[in-house]
Structure 1
Amino acid sequence: MKINSTVLLTLVLLILMLGAGSVSAFLGFNLGSSALKGVTTPDGRPTTKFTSSKANNSQQTGVALLKEEDILKTVKARIEGKTKAAKSEKLDEDDEEINSSKQKPEEKPKEVTEEKPQPGFPVTAENQGVTFSVQSARYSGGDLLLKVKMQNKGADSVRFLYSFLDVTDDKGRTLSGSTDGLPTELPANGPAFSGTVSIPTALLDDVKSISLSLTDYPAQKLKLDVSNIPVEKAAEQF
């Protein structure tokens, strides 16, 4: 009895499995067929491609071609119009230049006026063809500015070290000064060089005149002494 019940149970299970498989296969087939509705295979025939391409070409080829004579006439007319416009513009510009030249009066050349020397200047020292002159003096920004000029008319070049420049007042006191724009070497038969010597005004209380002394370097065979430079009433500007 136990064996018969087992066989019966096995048969029931097999029948259920076959039924479930059949149902799932049927449902899958229905789903697949419904999904493929409306899908068609591509047409691989060459004749249809040729006919469709010819139809498209026939639709596109509808452009009208211009005649060569018409194109040349159009280009010639445009060129002539541009040249006429350019000529008229040039004539207008020439007329404007002529009118403006007539209206503008003739400008007279400006006369070059030399600067008048400051009273008491220049103060010059010369030795062996080398000149050292103070052209003017003025107070500016807390300093006394001496405008100096140097020139070498001798046959040999001369070198200077401006840290050796001695500045003294009329009471014999040594003052500090700095130079700007002066060359370290004066060439033989060379041009004049200009520069400035600056002295702090705090050192110039009750000072009426100062003196400058400069020697060449390193030989120190040439000495330039510029004495009695008036600074009491120095001009405000050069």
Structure 2
Amino acid sequence: MKINSTVLLTLILLTLMLGAGSVSAFWGFTLGSSALKGVTTPDGRPTTKFTSAKSSNSQPGTLALLKEEEILKIVKARIEGKTKAAKSEKLEEDDEETNNSKQKPEEKPQEIAEEKPQQGFPINAENKGVTLSVQSARYSGGDLLLKVKMQNKGADSVRFLYSFLDVTDDKGRTLSASTEGLPAELPANGPAFSGTVSIPTALLDDVQKVSLALTDYPAQQLKLEVLNIPVAK
């Protein structure tokens, strides 16, 4: 009887152990399954990867690459648009300028008043077709300005050196003077040339008249003398 009771107890313990193990295994499987929900095995097939890549590119918000032809078309359209805009602005500006010019009255050219001859002038000297003419005598800026003209109607050109110009007053005194605008050479049958002979006013306190004498250089074959030029203030 003791043996039978021991065997029975052993069988009961084995049964309990098997039941507990089965319950533990089932409970563990249930917890693992719930934990792995939503987890999928990665697909290693190449075709699947390409398909998934295309589908992801088609989603909104992703970057779409344009073809070279489309880019060139877009750039060309923008350039043409800017060119047209610039042309239209230029045409508008031209129209405004045209309208403004039409609105403004035509300006008449101002008539240049001719200088009236000074009384007693001109005073001329001529030798061998070369003329020296004093057109006027006026005071300005501390100097007496003698406006002169020279012309050569002869067949040969004539040269002058104006440092040899002699200027004397009515008392025979030599006066210092400077020239401006007179040519160093008068061409044959040439035009008239204008210039100025300047004499400091300080030398003319008691002077009523002055005279000019000029010879050609270096030949000194002709002499031009303009005498008794009135310079009274």
Q: TM-score, normalised by structure 2?
A: 0.63
Instruction: State whether structure 2 residue 222 is matched by structure 1 residue 225.
Output: no
Deviating more after overlay: 211-220 vs 85-94: 85-94
Provide the C-alpha distance between the structure 2 equivalents of 1:69 and 1:181, rounded to a whole number of angstroms.
72
Q: Could you say if the C-alpha distance between residues 186 and 84 of structure 1 is closer, same or farther in structure 2, counting changes exceeding 3 Å? A: closer
Gaps of 5+ in 1: 1-61, 234-238
How much does 1:75 deviate?
Answer: 4.1
Provide the C-alpha distance between the structure 2 equivalents of 1:216 and 1:88, rounded to a whole number of angstroms.
68
Provide the C-alpha distance between the structure 2 equivalents of 1:118 and 1:78, rounded to a whole number of angstroms.
72
How much does 1:222 deviate?
Answer: 1.0
Provide the C-alpha distance between the structure 2 equivalents of 1:217 and 1:74, rounded to a whole number of angstroms.
80
**Residue 88 of structure 2 aligns with which residue?**
88
Alignment of 1:1-238 (within 5 A): 64-67=64-67, 71=71, 74-75=74-75, 77-79=77-79, 81-233=81-233
- Letter paired with 2:179: T
How much does 1:102 deviate?
Answer: 2.3
Provide the C-alpha distance between the structure 2 equivalents of 1:157 and 1:76, rounded to a whole number of angstroms.
70
- Letter paired with 2:158: V
Provide the C-alpha distance between the structure 1 equivalents of 2:168 and 2:152, rounded to a whole number of angstroms.
25
Secondary structure of 2:92 counterpart? helix
Provide the C-alpha distance between the structure 1 equivalents of 2:218 and 2:90, rounded to a whole number of angstroms.
70
Q: Could you say if the C-alpha distance between residues 121 and 76 of structure 1 is closer, same or farther in structure 2, counting changes exceeding 3 Å? A: same
How much does 1:130 deviate?
Answer: 0.5
- Letter paired with 2:187: P
- Letter paired with 2:182: L
**Residue 24 of structure 1 aligns with which residue?**
none
CA deviations on 1:135-177 (whole Å, 9 max, x unpaired) are: 2222234332212111111001112232332222222333232
CA deviations on 1:193-238 (whole Å, 9 max, x unpaired) are: 22222222222122111111112223322111101211003xxxxx
**Residue 49 of structure 1 aligns with which residue?**
none
Q: TM-score, normalised by structure 1?
A: 0.62
Secondary structure of 1:109 counterpart? coil
Provide the C-alpha distance between the structure 2 equivalents of 1:68 and 1:203, rounded to a whole number of angstroms.
90
Q: Could you say if the C-alpha distance between residues 66 and 152 of structure 1 is closer, same or farther in structure 2, counting changes exceeding 3 Å? A: same
- Letter paired with 1:119: Q
How much does 1:87 deviate?
Answer: 4.5
C-alpha RMSD over aligned residues: 2.9
Provide the C-alpha distance between the structure 2 equivalents of 1:75 and 1:98, rounded to a whole number of angstroms.
35
Q: Could you say if the C-alpha distance between residues 63 and 194 of structure 1 is closer, same or farther in structure 2, counting changes exceeding 3 Å? A: same
Structure 1 or 2, whichever has the larger Rg, is 2
Gaps of 5+ in 2: 1-61
Provide the C-alpha distance between the structure 2 equivalents of 1:179 and 1:162, rounded to a whole number of angstroms.
7
Deviating more after overlay: 66-75 vs 172-181: 66-75
- Letter paired with 1:65: L
Provide the C-alpha distance between the structure 2 equivalents of 1:94 and 1:86, rounded to a whole number of angstroms.
12
Q: Could you say if the C-alpha distance between residues 97 and 153 of structure 1 is closer, same or farther in structure 2, counting changes exceeding 3 Å? A: same
How much does 1:188 deviate?
Answer: 0.9
Secondary structure of 1:148 counterpart? strand
Identity of aligned residues (%): 85
Secondary structure of 1:155 counterpart? coil
